[in-house]
Structure 1
């Protein structure tokens, strides 16, 4: 569909065309509507379609006129907030979430919502009572989660950018699965969610998934009002051993090692690194994950209204709640230990850590289905996502960057992680990897200076 108003442009190129008045916001929304109609019957990433009645952003914002989908756990006034769950009947939100206000303030036009698994608890966007969201690269495989609908529709070319959020890897996982760039910002860099503020440890950070590093930098600058700046000559620690244990598959390991060689060739100091945290951290995080599911099950009517029925929660949510009840008493002090995670110990000799995003390629649909027996599903999830939760507990940034394909042609992502406030450092390195990658297109590596936001690598 390259001959419509969107063409094959990324967000950065669209902003430039909008400023030159070569295209209008209405034309972009019409192109998105047509692409969603063509793509979504195969991908199934769309929640609500509001292309005919969008919530229009600030016309003076730096991203004015660019269409975006909002993840369906984020309030948009007048739209139902489903949280990916069939356990209650959602009512129209009374007001915008804080991050929704930020998106609108930057000028983005909200044209609908993207699907997610129930309450964002799974690493695949699959359901017991509905069709799954499919990976646009190969529809037999998962698009990841919890921002799975967002990633699938950006990767399919239906929208140029989509809102996402991340409580344990939920931006980075689907970005890696679908071949996108996905940055989880530092805690507090963007507006904190109301739900996250109530958590004993706020794991959740909002962001976006994009096709290019420069787009992620542009959107981050637009939302924060600050330019994104990088540093040169960094010390990079290469992590190939998951805190959860288990082996990294051969294609993923090769992608990390290839990325390490590219960074070394670019002049960075690269050396192996062993995580300071191990299976004890993973066990504590799993109990906390269960606590969040238990809070949904126990407080659902208070949070979601009288239509909430615990029995309609999916088997994974119920299994995680049981895990908390049975395992939590045997791990006293798990919250205290999580709060005391010494994240800076990971960086005694490094500026950045390079690792897989996921221990193996995105699985076929069904492997992480919420109806898989809970003990089996728990073990599969722990092995799969062992590299991502640490940054959520620490409130630190990390970005997933495309790093090639596996033997079936499915995308592989690598993760760059830093200390709080290091978004510019990570995006600078991500841009170097993107430019050196044999899968990057001409638009991903193009130099860019925005007339509204000054960003440099």
Structure 2
């Protein structure tokens, strides 16, 4: 626990001081009744409750998030597109009533289109590509009351498990400047871990939510294909799915409630859920049978620290009454990656 406190102190003091060395930056909006410590102590649902109760306003939350991003982004390099005026205008017009009304939010700069804004996909080729449409899921974010104020870093086309690009440079882990934030949603994870916001959009094809969540100490879940819409132009997404990284499990569940469900023309549709994901967070599951895979299909070496973490997770699950069994996947890596290329190529052909 002391190590966690020390790291939080580093984030709260060290990074802010380093970032503010050349230009002082306020951590909270001048007129806000909410301190940064209070802001950071709450998850997205908690902040939305403060807005509903009138204890804080949506403009105040937005200015705290903007100030925090201005303080830490020069150090960790998580934010690549700043939409501050766009967000202020959205708040001034009035926000829909939803589970996250007034909560600041960031989109990943990979396939997440918001009409009139640039999505670079981490590539110099798209550095000036202004979207002429808005993703269905982004519209659902806005309908849930989220306030979009920027976009987070991704490696070029989301192609690696770290977040580095020639266009924007390296994204650093807020816990340790010498380590990676993971990828490809490393910008989103770094932003949440650094306290800019409690919840951020992310995508996952081969670990791009789960890897950075693990690197940055967050919660990250890859939903089933077809659970969250990927259109309107990418209706046949067969690998990557859209969701989020968050500090709390309940935020992830509530966001899935707000965004789930198919859109017209969608080719993959997940089974209809039987209830609310948020309601399920507090339920005690029956004993689960969990397969633990510790050997990569490529037979690459595994760092001992990772092996210990997996073993600790297995022991924790067993202590909660679940059955954990180590499994092996008899997969030829050459066939696996050849099939992956076919799947990705098919998706490209369908979109074109």
Matched, 1:9 2:42: yes
**Unaligned ranges ≥5, structure 2:** 1-11, 13-26, 28-34, 262-274
Residues 70 and 112, structure 1, Cα contact 8 Å, conserved in 2 = yes
- Residue of 245, 258, 262 corresponding to 1:222: 258
Matched, 1:247 2:301: yes
- Residue of 37, 55, 60 corresponding to 1:22: 55
Partner of 2:325: 271
Structure 1 residue 269: deviation in Å? Answer: 1.6
Alignment deviations for residues 134-174 of structure 1 (CA, whole Å, 9 cap, x no partner): 11111222111111111111111112111011122211111
Residues 244 and 282, structure 1, Cα contact 8 Å, conserved in 2 = no
Mapped to 1, the partners of 2:116 and 2:167 lie a distance apart of 25
Mapped to 2, the partners of 1:265 and 1:89 lie a distance apart of 50
CA gap 1:46/1:59 in 2 versus in 1, 3 angstroms: same
Mapped to 2, the partners of 1:82 and 1:171 lie a distance apart of 19
Partner of 2:109: 72
Structure 1 residue 52: deviation in Å? Answer: 3.1
Structure 1 residue 209: deviation in Å? Answer: 0.5
> If the length of structure 2 is used for normalisation, what is the TM-score?
0.77
- Residue of 240, 254, 262 corresponding to 1:204: 240
Residues 83 and 149, structure 2, Cα contact 8 Å, conserved in 1 = yes
Partner of 1:367: none
Structure 1 residue 272: deviation in Å? Answer: 1.6
Structure 1 residue 194: deviation in Å? Answer: 4.7
SS at the partner of 2:245?
strand
Partner of 1:236: 290
CA gap 1:274/1:31 in 2 versus in 1, 3 angstroms: same
Residues 154 and 187, structure 2, Cα contact 8 Å, conserved in 1 = yes
- Higher RCO (CA < 8 A, seq sep 6+): 1
Structure 1 residue 176: deviation in Å? Answer: 1.3
**Unaligned ranges ≥5, structure 1:** 297-301, 304-457
Mapped to 2, the partners of 1:153 and 1:262 lie a distance apart of 28
Alignment deviations for residues 10-66 of structure 1 (CA, whole Å, 9 cap, x no partner): 213212222222111111000001100111000101011122321458521111111
Partner of 1:63: 100
SS at the partner of 1:174?
helix
SS at the partner of 2:148?
strand
Residues 184 and 205, structure 1, Cα contact 8 Å, conserved in 2 = yes
Mapped to 1, the partners of 2:228 and 2:345 lie a distance apart of 25
Partner of 1:35: 68
Structure 1 residue 178: deviation in Å? Answer: 1.3
Mapped to 2, the partners of 1:279 and 1:238 lie a distance apart of 19
Mapped to 1, the partners of 2:79 and 2:56 lie a distance apart of 25
CA gap 1:289/1:126 in 2 versus in 1, 3 angstroms: farther
Residues 45 and 99, structure 2, Cα contact 8 Å, conserved in 1 = no
Mapped to 2, the partners of 1:88 and 1:49 lie a distance apart of 16
Structure 1 residue 124: deviation in Å? Answer: 1.5
SS at the partner of 2:151?
strand
Residues 295 and 328, structure 2, Cα contact 8 Å, conserved in 1 = yes
CA gap 1:292/1:135 in 2 versus in 1, 3 angstroms: farther
- Residue of 130, 139, 163 corresponding to 2:201: 163
Mapped to 2, the partners of 1:142 and 1:289 lie a distance apart of 29
Partner of 1:355: none
Mapped to 1, the partners of 2:216 and 2:343 lie a distance apart of 25
Alignment deviations for residues 364-395 of structure 1 (CA, whole Å, 9 cap, x no partner): xxxxxxxxxxxxxxxxxxxxxxxxxxxxxxxx
CA gap 1:286/1:192 in 2 versus in 1, 3 angstroms: closer
CA gap 1:244/1:93 in 2 versus in 1, 3 angstroms: same
Partner of 1:258: 312
Mapped to 2, the partners of 1:255 and 1:185 lie a distance apart of 23
Alignment deviations for residues 291-337 of structure 1 (CA, whole Å, 9 cap, x no partner): 489x69xxxxx98xxxxxxxxxxxxxxxxxxxxxxxxxxxxxxxxxx
Question: Over the residues paired in the alignment, what is the CA RMSD in angstroms?
Answer: 2.6
- Residue of 328, 341, 345 corresponding to 1:287: 341
SS at the partner of 2:178?
coil
